[in-house]
């Protein structure tokens, strides 16, 4: 969905109306740096003297960035935050009221700077596309299918409402509790008669615990269809959710087919490849370090990358995966510390004892 929004955004930017639209997208680290600069210049410092250095501000800066991005994609106007405390009066504790005021300051100042400087963020792109989405934006596509959505942000609701009436657009939802309310929000009526029949293609959903489970489930389906002499041809397509899925698919699924009667389309840029993601995660980890201490979220993102967690140990990667996923659970359960040294992790006796027991 992010890539679709980025594509429409860039297409609109190149058009006559979008010639002044912000171009370069800010990454999280850049956003935190901007927020830190705003924090230093703020008339009232968040946390008093607690967050005056970059390393001290970094964790709270990430949290602020996530919060204001959520407000932005929900199209909350900056004055709305300022109005909350006065309207609530004494109903909000003083500390909470100050937190809202600080968030309001960052929300207004950050996006003012971003727009004035010719940048954009994920949420700003969603807002822009949802406000400007038109039929011409979808001209290059014969058909577009939106699937896998349930809870919508305000920007997504506005975007889907604008395009739901177009013939080339289809929405696929899994029937369940609350679906009626979600469709009502979008003004969509399900194309289904009382007998439960539909003129849309048949869709099946399969549940799996992780990416490898998805590939194993797909391999089972492909093997079953192959035995049934299903006509695999140029109309048979496997669409991967992420580039990291390609190698498991290649070794586990495509190997079931006889010969090389298949083709892999690699029409995505370098930054979507696993090797780029591996080094990007490593660079983000190094950039967020505080001396010898690693920032736990970035550390987990690095060690859980397929290239790291599948390192062979005695001719098998199973031990490494168990170790890193056990480490993920342990560090996630104990949220008290955001920074740890590698020696503290390596000397964590209960962690390795739990791995040995298989728990």
In the listed set 129, 158, 178, which residue is the last one of a domain according to the structure? Answer: 129
Angle between helices 154-163 and 179-186 (to 10 degrees): 70
Residue 96 corresponds to which tokens in the numbers above?
Answer: 């909470």
Domain that holds residue 50: 2-129
- Are 354 and 330 contacting, i.e. CB atoms less than 8 angstroms apart? yes
- Are 158 and 73 contacting, i.e. CB atoms less than 8 angstroms apart? no
Map residue 200 onto helix, strand or coil: coil
Average pLDDT on 279-300 reads 90
Using 50, 70 and 90 to split pLDDT, how confident is the model at 124? very high
Do the domain assignments include residue 105?
Answer: yes
Do the domain assignments include residue 92?
Answer: yes
Residue 135 has pLDDT above 80, yes or no: no
Do the domain assignments include residue 353?
Answer: yes
In the listed set 129, 157, 184, which residue is the last one of a domain according to the structure? Answer: 129
pLDDT > 90 in the chain, percent: 11
Pairing relation of β-strands 293-295 and 339-341? antiparallel
Can you tell me the distance from the alpha carbon of 336 to that of 349, in angstroms, rounded to the nearest whole number?
18
- Are 274 and 307 contacting, i.e. CB atoms less than 8 angstroms apart? yes
Do the domain assignments include residue 194?
Answer: no
DSSP H or E stretch at residue 25: strand 24-25
Do the domain assignments include residue 56?
Answer: yes
Do the domain assignments include residue 257?
Answer: no
**pLDDT, position 89:** 46
Using 50, 70 and 90 to split pLDDT, how confident is the model at 72? very high
Do the domain assignments include residue 325?
Answer: yes
List CB contacts of 32: < 8 A, sequence separation 6 or more: 57, 58, 61, 62, 65
Residue 39 has pLDDT above 80, yes or no: yes
In the listed set 98, 129, 160, which residue is the last one of a domain according to the structure? Answer: 129
Choose the weakest-confidence range: 13-22, 144-153, 204-213. Answer: 13-22
For residue 290, the cross-strand partners are 293
**pLDDT, position 282:** 92
The total number of structural domains in the chain stands at 2
Do the domain assignments include residue 189?
Answer: no
Rounded to the nearest 10°, the torsion over CA 352, 354, 355, 357 is 130
Residue 123 has pLDDT above 90, yes or no: yes
């Amino acid at each position: 969905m992010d890539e679709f929004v980025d594509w429409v955004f860039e297409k609109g930017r190149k058009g006559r109306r979008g010639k002044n639209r912000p171009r370069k997208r800010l990454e999280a680290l850049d956003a935190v740096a901007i927020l830190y600069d705003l924090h230093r210049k703020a008339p009232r410092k968040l946390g008093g003297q607690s967050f005056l250095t970059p390393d001290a501000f970094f964790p709270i800066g990430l949290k602020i960035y996530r919060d204001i991005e959520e407000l932005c994609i929900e199209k909350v106007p900056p004055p709305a935050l300022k109005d909350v405390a006065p309207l609530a009066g004494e109903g909000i504790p003083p500390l909470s009221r100050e937190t809202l005021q600080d968030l309001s300051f960052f929300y207004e100042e950050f996006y003012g700077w971003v727009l004035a400087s010719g940048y954009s963020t994920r949420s700003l792109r969603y807002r822009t596309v949802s406000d400007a989405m038109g039929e011409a934006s979808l001209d290059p596509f014969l058909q577009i299918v939106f699937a896998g959505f349930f809870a919508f942000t305000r920007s997504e609701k506005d975007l889907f409402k604008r395009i739901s009436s177009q013939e080339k657009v289809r929405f696929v939802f899994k029937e369940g509790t609350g679906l009626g309310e979600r469709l009502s929000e979008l003004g969509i009526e399900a194309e289904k008669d009382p007998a439960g029949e539909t003129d849309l293609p048949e869709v099946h959903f399969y549940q799996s615990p992780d990416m490898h489970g998805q590939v194993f489930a797909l391999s089972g389906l492909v093997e079953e269809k192959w035995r049934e002499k299903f006509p695999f041809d140029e109309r048979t397509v496997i669409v991967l959710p992420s580039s990291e899925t390609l190698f498991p698919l290649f070794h586990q699924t495509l190997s079931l087919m006889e010969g090389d009667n298949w083709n892999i389309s690699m029409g995505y840029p370098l930054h979507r490849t696993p090797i780029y993601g591996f080094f990007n995660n490593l660079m983000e980890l190094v950039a967020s370090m505080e001396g010898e201490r690693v920032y736990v979220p970035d550390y987990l993102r690095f060690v859980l990358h397929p290239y790291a967690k599948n390192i062979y140990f005695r001719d098998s990667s199973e031990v490494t995966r168990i170790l890193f996923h056990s480490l993920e659970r342990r560090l996630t359960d104990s949220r008290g510390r955001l920074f740890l040294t590698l020696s503290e992790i390596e000397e964590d006796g209960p962690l390795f004892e739990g791995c040995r027991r298989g728990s």
